[in-house]
Structure 1
Amino acid sequence: MAHVDNLRRHFPAIRTVAYLNTGEFGALPDTAVSAMQEELRWQLEQGRLHDDWDTRFQQIRAEVREHLAVLLDAPPEAFALTDGATHAVNIALWGLPLRAGDEILYTDLEHPAVLLPLQILKQRRGVVLQKVPVATSEDQWLTQVQRLLTPRTRLLVIPHVAAATGQRLPVETLCELIHRHGGYCLVDGAQGAGAEPFSLAQSGVDLYAVSGRKWLCGPDGTGALYVAPTLQSVLDPTFIGPAALASPHAYTALGHHLAAETGQRFEYAASARVQWIGFHESLKFLRVHVGWDYAYTRIQGLSAHLFDQLLDFPNVQIVTPREARAGIVSFRLPHPSAEAFVAAADERSVHVQAVPNRNLIRVSCGFYNHEDDIERLLAVLRSVR
């Protein structure tokens, strides 16, 4: 317990509340905020036209890719830095060579950040969307997907961990299935990256969207898209700008250009310097001071503890499968509504999330949480019961 107590000192936001909402916004470590403040102070006093301005920034971004590479077991050059997971999903969907009549399979668990781009893609390109019903086991997922596969299936879109229900999908098995069929797999990793150990190299994932602000405890406006090396020549850049070039002057006035040979070709602008410095510090803190193995063990242990405690409440319906979970545990009550419960919890300084369209209460157990935080949540449950 000494390690978590020491870590909690670096997260002021969790000191006075039971902060069980990492799946929406991870708490910022003080080291990240200090680095961001120092950068703003430097810009204020020194300006932004120094010779090493761009060099320093590119080094920060390169180190972010290195941290992501360690986290997700992939080469750093496979990552394109984005404004978040939504941005990454859009780059992936619009960059794939999809035409009218091509079919995309997606699950009944997708976040709006995935559903909305899919619908626009359908309207503009005429692709056909096929929804895969929710399954509870790996075999059921395979059966559901196989049933919908046709000669026109080109892409399978799935969440790593479902944002609403907290269900961890059998990503590796489903990727293998779609590859045997000749298609690609796009994974929304917003609720997976940083919540559990995951190897992109071993999973076979073609495209993986990362959110920086959730389990990675980074600032808003940070994220990444992993593009498998075998797919980098297939995916077209959705946006184009100087950041995508092989070198600063690799273009002509006629519009000819030489794109970077790495995932950087899918970036279009190198901006938001302060946020990227903060994200770099957050990743470094998690890797060096927290330790990924510790974070994963702590998250898994706390979510199991919460799950077991909820079983003592006969009126609680847990929707997260115990053996297929990461850091999120979702449940519903017959009364009150999820929104009313979250409001009641907030009054007691317990922060959780409501999923109104499913009437779910979503609890995200971060590595910095205490068992006391869970007990405070259970006390709210007892009071409303």
Structure 2
Amino acid sequence: MAHADNLRRHFPAVRTGTYLNTGSFGALPDTTVQLMRDTLQWLLEEGRRADNYKEVLQTTHQQIREQLAHLLQVRAASIVLTDSTTHGLNIVLWGLPLQAGDEVIVTDVEHEGALLPVYVQQARRGIVVRVVDGTLPPDELCAAIDRAVTPRTRLILCSHVSYATGHRLPIEQIAKVAHARHVLVAVDGAQGMGAEPFSLAGTEIDFYAFPGHKWLCGPDGTGALYIRPDVQSMVQMTYAGSHSLAAADAYNLSGTFLASPTVQRYEHTFADLAKWVGWLESLQFLRVTVGWDYAYTRVQGLSGQLIDALLDVDHVRIATPRDRRAGLIHFQIQGMSAEQFVREAAERSLYVKAIPGRQLVRASTGFYNGDDDVERLVTLVKSSKASS
């Protein structure tokens, strides 16, 4: 436990309460916040001189791409920096040449951040949205998706890990099913990236979008999108700016321009050096100080410990399958609404989340959590029936 105790010193948020909500926001390391403060101080004192500011920002962006590429085992040139998972999915949906009558398949356990961009395509372009049951066992889910595919299906969009139920979806197999039917696949990686060992190498996943502020412990407004090299030519630019160009002067007044030869063509603005410096620091901290193998093992171990403890509580129904979990555990408390439990937990400085419309409580076990955090939650759950 020495390593775990040492790591917790760097995360003040997990020492002031029982922090079991990484699935909403990961705790920030103290080194990240200090570097962000130092960066803002530097900008205050030195000014944002165009040459210096842009050079530092470009270098930071590239180092982030390299960190993410190492983690996903892909080329850095396939990583687009975004401000969120939803931003990345919008790049995909607006970039693909979808037409009226084209179909997009989604599951019924998707986050609104993924569904709403699809619904806008339905309203603006007239696409058809088809829905399958995302809680089916892996083989049945793949079969259901295969049955839902028609000659007009263009894209399947699904979660790596469902925010709503904690299910780890068989995204690798879904991609194989999709490609066998000549359909593209986009994955919402918000609850998977950084929560379990995962490599895109060797998979047929076309698009993988994820945020920086959850399991990757970065600041708000950070994220990235992987676009498989074979399909990059299919995604048109929707937003464009100077950062999208192959060179600063790669355009003329006749309307001709030369876009970046990499996926940087989808990165259209320079913005907020402090947050990017902060995310880079968090990624380096996770890789060097924490160690990804340790982080993954810790998340998996604590989530399993929580499920095992809740199985012994008669008035609890667990919604997340033990063998298809990552870092999210969802459960229902008989006789008590999820919202009421979350409020009462917060009054005791224990932080979990209620899933709207499903009456499920969601606990996220981060690598910086301890056995005592799990025990506090289980103790409160056990006592909750008497107060309901």
TM-score band by shorter chain is: over 0.9
Aligned to 1:230: 230
Map Cα deviations across residues 186-207 of structure 1 (whole Å, 9 max, x no partner).
0000111000111112221100
Q: C-alpha separation between the residues in 2 aligned to 1:5 and 1:69?
A: 29
Aligned to 1:109: 109
SS where residue 363 of structure 2 aligns? strand
Quote how far apart the aligned CAs of 1:50 are. Answer: 5.8
Q: C-alpha separation between the residues in 1 aligned to 2:328 and 2:24?
A: 11
Matched, 1:77 2:77: yes
Q: C-alpha separation between the residues in 2 aligned to 1:135 and 1:311?
A: 20
Aligned to 1:29: 29
Quote how far apart the aligned CAs of 1:52 are. Answer: 2.2
Q: TM-score, normalised by structure 2?
A: 0.98
Q: C-alpha separation between the residues in 2 aligned to 1:9 and 1:89?
A: 36
SS where residue 381 of structure 1 aligns? helix
Aligned to 2:241: 241
The one-letter amino acid paired with 1:63 is: Q
The one-letter amino acid paired with 1:215 is: W
Q: C-alpha separation between the residues in 2 aligned to 1:127 and 1:335?
A: 41
Which consecutive unaligned segments of at least 5 residues does structure 2 have? Answer: none
Q: Assess if the C-alpha contact under 8 Å between 2:104 and 2:153 holds in 1.
A: yes
Quote how far apart the aligned CAs of 1:271 are. Answer: 0.7
Aligned to 1:188: 188
Q: Assess if the C-alpha contact under 8 Å between 2:23 and 2:191 holds in 1.
A: yes
| RMSD over equivalenced CA pairs, Å | 0.9
Aligned to 1:128: 128
The one-letter amino acid paired with 2:228 is: A
The one-letter amino acid paired with 1:20 is: L
Q: How does 1:20-59 map to 2 (within 5 A)?
A: 20-49=20-49, 51-59=51-59
SS where residue 28 of structure 2 aligns? coil
Aligned to 1:264: 264
Q: How does 1:135-284 map to 2 (within 5 A)?
A: 135-284=135-284
SS where residue 234 of structure 2 aligns? coil
Q: C-alpha separation between the residues in 2 aligned to 1:59 and 1:265?
A: 16
Quote how far apart the aligned CAs of 1:383 are. Answer: 2.2
| Larger mean Cα displacement after TM superposition, 182-191 or 201-210 | 201-210
Q: How does 1:332-351 map to 2 (within 5 A)?
A: 332-351=332-351
Q: C-alpha separation between the residues in 2 aligned to 1:148 and 1:233?
A: 27
Q: Assess if the C-alpha contact under 8 Å between 2:210 and 2:225 holds in 1.
A: yes
Q: C-alpha separation between the residues in 2 aligned to 1:126 and 1:282?
A: 41
Aligned to 1:355: 355
Q: Assess if the C-alpha contact under 8 Å between 2:134 and 2:169 holds in 1.
A: no
Q: C-alpha separation between the residues in 1 aligned to 2:268 and 2:6?
A: 40
Q: C-alpha separation between the residues in 1 aligned to 2:5 and 2:352?
A: 21
Equivalent pairs counted in the alignment come to 385
Quote how far apart the aligned CAs of 1:238 are. Answer: 2.1
Q: Assess if the C-alpha contact under 8 Å between 2:135 and 2:167 holds in 1.
A: no
Q: Assess if the C-alpha contact under 8 Å between 1:136 and 1:321 holds in 2.
A: no
Matched, 1:16 2:23: no
Q: C-alpha separation between the residues in 2 aligned to 1:244 and 1:127?
A: 28
SS where residue 225 of structure 1 aligns? strand
Q: C-alpha separation between the residues in 1 aligned to 2:331 and 2:383?
A: 17
Q: C-alpha separation between the residues in 2 aligned to 1:312 and 1:164?
A: 23
Quote how far apart the aligned CAs of 1:356 are. Answer: 2.1
Q: C-alpha separation between the residues in 2 aligned to 1:260 and 1:57?
A: 17
The one-letter amino acid paired with 1:28 is: L
The one-letter amino acid paired with 2:367 is: F
Q: C-alpha separation between the residues in 2 aligned to 1:203 and 1:196?
A: 16
Quote how far apart the aligned CAs of 1:47 are. Answer: 0.9
SS where residue 200 of structure 1 aligns? coil
Which consecutive unaligned segments of at least 5 residues does structure 1 have? Answer: none
